[in-house]
Every structure is written in C-alpha cells, then in structure tokens.
Structure 1
Amino acid sequence: MTTMHDDLSETHILGPDTFQIVVRQNDTDQRPWLRHAPTCPALKHHRIAHAGACIAKDPYRIVRMQQSGAYFIACIGGEGRILVDGKWRVCKAGMACLLPPHMLNAFHAIPGKYWSFAWVRYEAAPNTHPILSASSPMLAPFHGLAIHNAISGLHSEAKGAATPSVIHQWLELVQTYVQQFTQPLRMDNRLYHLWNHVEPRLEKDWTVDTLAARAHLSGEHLRRLCLHQLGRPPLRHLTWLRMRRAAELLSTTDEKIETIAHLVGYQNPFVFSNTFKKWIGWRPSEHRNRT
C-alpha cells in the first residue's frame, strides 16, 4: 500500500529562495527560524504554537518524526508534496491538508516549482477538544486565500501596534477558517454521525456492511460519500483512525503493544504491527522508542 520511510529523519531546510513570515505564541522556542518572529500570547486561547505564510522553493523540506500537535496547511499557489496516509501526495492551489499529531509528518517543495501556502501549528492538547475529529478530511479542496490573508494581518499587527482587540479579530478569523476545513458544515450528517460513533469503538470488528448499516446507507453509497468528503474509502478511513489512535497511545501511555492492538481492533499483534509499519513507516516498538 505504501512505501517505507526509513530514509526520513528530523529535518528543517528552508533554502535561500524560500520566504516566510511567522507569528508565535511565546519566545520559549529559540530555533533559528522562529527566533526573530513576533510573539502573540493570544494564540494560546486556541492552543496555536505558531502560524505563518510561506513561498517555498527547493530545497525546502520539513520532516517531523513525531509532531506533538496537529498541523494545518492551505495552499494558495504552485504545488508541493505532503506525506498523507503514508504516500507522497501533491498539494496544489485550492487544496488544504490537516496532518495529525503523534505521527510522521513531512512535506517539501518540488524542484523547479514554487509552493505558496499558509500554515497553523497546534500544540499538543491532552484532555481538551481536539481540532482534528473523526470526520475531518486529510487532503481536500479548500480556498486558502482568506486564511492566508488573516495570518498575514495577524503577523502585521503582532509585529506593529499589537492592539489586543485587533489581534483578537485576526485570530478568530484564522481559527474559523481552520474549523471550516476540519469540521465542514456541508458534510453529510450521516457520515459525521457514523465516524463520531466509530471513533470511540475502534476495537469492534467493523466491516463495510456494518458501517453502511450504521449510517443507513448502501455500501456503494457509503463508499462514494467517503471518497468525496474524506478523500478515502470507508475501510481505509477506518484504518487511518485506528493507526492515528494507536500512534497516540504509543506516544502517551505505557500500555503493552498487544493491548494497544486490541484497543484499536486488531486481535493479532503481528497484523497490527505490519499495518502500522505500512501506514506510519516503522513498527510500533520503534515508534515508542522515538518518542
């Protein structure tokens, strides 16, 4: 299904031809690319670590072996590649992507092309309502110019007068646009209720037939809806939910791997381990060691 990613390692390469603006929540992170960015403490209200806008050119490349928080990217021009479901996918103008926490996240510019996008990086948020839900798409159509402009406005205000009321207005716009992607109002209610029912019950032996029956749809209708609104067929989305949950449990608990396998619907730990490697790039034991 996917290629392995043993060749990837923690990477942050901007390159001489890449331009970006960044606004950050505080000045505790002193990595060079963040060090001179204006701070905006109000970002903490939405658990945003930093946000920005970028025009990237090769050799721009970012790899996070286990990113602790969700990462939203909205493309407004050109194209780049993002690792989604274990595969490199093209993200071009008019598309957005939401990368989940506790997993390998990677993206890069394409040689000979530019890639213009806005991003919002969320903090790890245990025991709080997550930005990423069971019905959130991973890579889907999205008009990103509005959030790009909102982040640019937020950056300008944070760098200048930093008027609290103006900061608040820009920040609420940024969060609203992210939520438009992660919690689309136009999503079919049957899908929304189905996946929010399934997510806390991943240990169950779900099939296309049981999923379709739960949603009061035929199997083919469910498949078409999932492809259109989530970008993947139902069983693939189920596997993604299971792997995302497994990665979170491996990163945040001391549960045995066999126990985690059972919690996410795998009776055979070897099948679980092989599936995890296909999706994440390494085995569950390696994932825990990388934490």
Structure 2
Amino acid sequence: MDSIDTFTISPKCQSIIIDQIQSIELERHKILQCGINYGKEAFSIYRRKPEMYMLLYTTKGKGLIKTPEKEWSLEAGSVIYIPPAQENCFIINPEDNEALEWDVAWVMLESNSHWDKSLPHDVYYNDSQSCDLLFKTITCLNNALSFRYPLGDALCRSITEQICLLVENRSTSYAPKALTRLEHVFQQTKSQLHHPWQVSDLAKLYPCSEPHFHRLCQQYFQQSPIAHLTQIRMEHAAGLLTTTNWSIQHISDLCGYPNPTNFSTRFKAWSRFTPRQFRNQFQSKK
C-alpha cells in the first residue's frame, strides 16, 4: 500500500488501526487495514496515487474529501468509496461544525482482488445505515485481538466476516434523505428512552429548526415528533411487559415516565389495556 504523502493530525485525535500483520483474517479477506478515528481540531491526509480502495463511514461530525475534480461534504450516516489511483485529500469539515469533530470508521481494501467485482470504480457517496455498526464492529475486532487461541481466532474470523458483509452491502437507499435522517434521530432516542426528550433536542440531532423538524415528522410519519416518540416508547414498553417480569414502575422509568400513573394512562390510550392488563393478556400466551 502506498504511504501517506502528507498528513496533519492533532494530538487530540485518537485512532485504532488494524492491519494484516495483526490479523491474518484481514489478509484472507483482502482487507489491507481497517480502523476508527476520533477526529478533533485537525485531521487531514493526502494521497497522490493510492493503490487500494478506501471507504470512509462517518458517524459523528463532518468531514470533507477533495479530488482534483470535485469535493464532497461527509455527514454522519454516510459512506464514501474512493477507488484505487484516485488522488484525494480528506479533512475535518469546519462548516457548521463548531467543535471541529469528525468520527469515522474506515476500511482499506486490496485492488486486483475479488473487491474489483463488487465495488464501484468511481468515487461513490451515499447514505448508509452501516456506519455506527461498522464503527462498533471494528472496535470489537480490536478487542478480540487480545484473546488467546482458539477463542481469539474464532472471534476475529467472525468479526471480519461481519465487516465484509457491511462493506459489500452498499445498496442504495431509495428512501428520501430527509426520512433517513429522521430515522437516524429516532434510532438514537431508542437507546435513551428514559431521557426527557424535547422537540428542541430532537431537532438538534437532525439538525434543523424545531418548526422544520415538526413538519418533517408530519410529512413522513403523519405524527408530531412527540407523538412518534410516544409510539416508540409504548412499543418498547409492550415488549418489556410481555418478555420480562420487571415491575411496572421499572418499565415506566426505562421508557421515560417517572410517574407510573402517567405511564399507565398513556399506555392505555395506546393499547386499550392498562400495563398490568396487557401483561396478563399477552404474556400468558407465550
């Protein structure tokens, strides 16, 4: 693989880099390197004539990639493919990025291999649902390298296959970009349903103004932002009621309702059952 021609990396950046010397599974699958980078303040790399495919998956902040012909703003939830021999430079994008952050998962793939048949031969930029999962998967691979044989080898084999699966499935999403962003916002709320989310919080995650976020939810979900969030909370509560023996108070807290009476009222309006009735009705059918 060609060396980096020039680079500027702030001391505040943190990186994990895994190559074929560390993992024979990467060599077997024709992956030169993979890694993650927490970019902060300054992070730029220039390659004049790379000999590999480069894939960048943005998970947070904004990046900017430049070629002699064009430049692309890389936003969270997107992937860009750079083919071999394509001169390029990528940096943290300062536009609407006051914190100067860019968190990215990246994969370098061998050219003249089976990847030539499955990857685009021009620069290709698209939304991707794989960004966060790939970021976490590479982190898992890095952790698996510390395990001894045979568990370490089995873990690396399985995790590397997952990386390949995420890379190969680059099918274009036919959903409008606005809808993809909306789904990404509410996907984040699912991991923190206990948080007292306000429309202002959700709009910042998009990001856009509160009125615009409200219009988008009405357009794509036919609900207000809070109504859609309530639906997500109720669906999660229903799952917990039928698959666990946790107390209703505990489920109420997890779903963002510190007051169990308020939770019970909303749940009944959604399901026509109180939480206890719902559990008795549906848990017994397991």
TM-score by length of 2: 0.53
The answer to whether residue 102 in structure 2 is matched with residue 107 in structure 1 is no
CA distance in 1, matches of 2:14, 2:120: 32
CA distance in 2, matches of 1:133, 1:153: 27
Identical-pair percentage: 20
CA distance in 1, matches of 2:76, 2:148: 32
Amino acid paired to 1:92: E
Match of 2:71 in 1: 88
- CA shift at 1:131, angstroms? 4.1
Amino acid paired to 1:82: I
Amino acid paired to 2:143: S
1:250-275, Cα deviation, whole Å (9 max, x unpaired) = xxxxxxxxxxxxxxxxxxxxxxxxxx
8 Å Cα contact 2:127/2:173 also seen in 1 = no
- CA shift at 1:125, angstroms? 2.1
CA distance in 2, matches of 1:14, 1:21: 14
Structure 2 residue ranges without an equivalent (≥5)? 175-286
Matches within 5 A, 1:199-210: none
Aligned-residue RMSD, C-alpha: 2.4
Match of 1:55 in 2: 38
**Alignment size in residue pairs:** 164
The answer to whether residue 7 in structure 2 is matched with residue 12 in structure 1 is yes
1:212-257, Cα deviation, whole Å (9 max, x unpaired) = xxxxxxxxxxxxxxxxxxxxxxxxxxxxxxxxxxxxxxxxxxxxxx
Match of 1:175 among 161, 164, 169: 164
Q: Report the secondary structure of 2:33's partner residue.
A: strand
Match of 1:140 among 108, 112, 126: 126
Q: Report the secondary structure of 2:72's partner residue.
A: strand
1:42-99, Cα deviation, whole Å (9 max, x unpaired) = 1012211110011112321111100101001111111110125722221010111001
The answer to whether residue 137 in structure 2 is matched with residue 150 in structure 1 is yes
Match of 2:106 among 105, 119, 122: 119
Match of 2:18 in 1: 23
Q: Quick one: structure 1 residues 146 and 127, their matched pair in 2 at CA, closer, same or farther if it must change by over 3 Å? A: closer
Q: Report the secondary structure of 1:70's partner residue.
A: strand
Amino acid paired to 1:161: R
CA distance in 2, matches of 1:22, 1:131: 24
Q: Report the secondary structure of 1:91's partner residue.
A: strand
CA distance in 2, matches of 1:50, 1:167: 14
